[in-house]
Amino acid sequence: MGALLDGKKALVTGAGSGIGAAVARRLVADGAAVYAVDRDPDRVAALAAETPLVTPLTCDLSDLDAVEELPADVDVLVNNAGRQHVSRLEEFDTEIFSSILRLMLESPFRLIRRSLPHMYTQGWGRVINISSAHGLRASPYKSAYVSAKHGLEGLSKVTALEGAEHGVTSNCINPAYVRTPLVEAQIADQARTHGISEDEVIEKIMLTPVARKRLIEPAETAELAAVLWGPASPSITGASLTQDGGWTAR
């Protein structure tokens, strides 16, 4: 397996836990050297300590100047970092809205922009954007998150069209709720917003539109990401690959 990405470098954002950490481990399993980026230095240091070929980098991706200091010589870019804030539109904090868009849309744009020249020179590159079912569907009280994910979908498609002649593909992965710290925090936020228990949030809100009534494990999303840098990947581009338990089938 290691030969697949031997000699290639990857950068994964939000790599300190959840999907990002799982994708970083999966990249290493295929031989890539991985820059693991997270705002929590302890989490990425722990990942690097347990996983060979991982270089931990600390960065607040909502600081766009800091994004410009990250490595650009990467062959696989995985835009995964995100946050959630649950609030009614008329009460939504404007700075939180702007911060979420910087983190989840502007920083992926900057990272793609910085990485493409290297990918074009190599004649090969993979941009993988961890979107969401909310990149294809909306839910109330999540205006910033839904806006950012819908924007990421468009950015990914433009990257696919421009990168095609250079051997670069760009795709989104669209999971439903994954068992991550982000989702755990969201459960607590939803419980406060709706005045219900956390168990009721999972059953009555999160899993209501999902046919398969289960949370997704991060390793499942990492395996789907591996398809997008693997042997089947050259003509998979501009796509949104759902992993949503049937949510968008409705």
Q: Which residues of 205-232 are buried (b: 16+ CB within 10 A; e: fewer)?
A: bbbebbeeeebbebeebbebbbebbeee
Strands 76-79, 125-130: pairing is parallel
**Of residues 111, 152, 117, the one with CA closest to residue 240:** 152
Q: Please tell me which residue in 35, 141, 145, 177 is annotated as part of the active site.
A: 145
- Distance, CA of 28 to CA of 117 (rounded, Å): 23
Check if the beta carbon of residue 87 is closer than 8 Å to that of residue 193.
Answer: yes
Q: Which residue intervals of 12-141 are DSSP H helices? A: 18-29, 41-50, 64-67, 94-101, 107-122
Residue 145 is a catalytic residue: yes
Give me the DSSP letters along 169-187: EEEEEEES-BSSHHHHHHH
Residues facing 173 on adjacent strands = 130, 241
Calculate helix-pair angle for 18-29, 41-50, nearest 10 degrees.
30
User: Which H or E run includes 227?
Assistant: helix 218-227
Which residues are catalytically annotated?
145
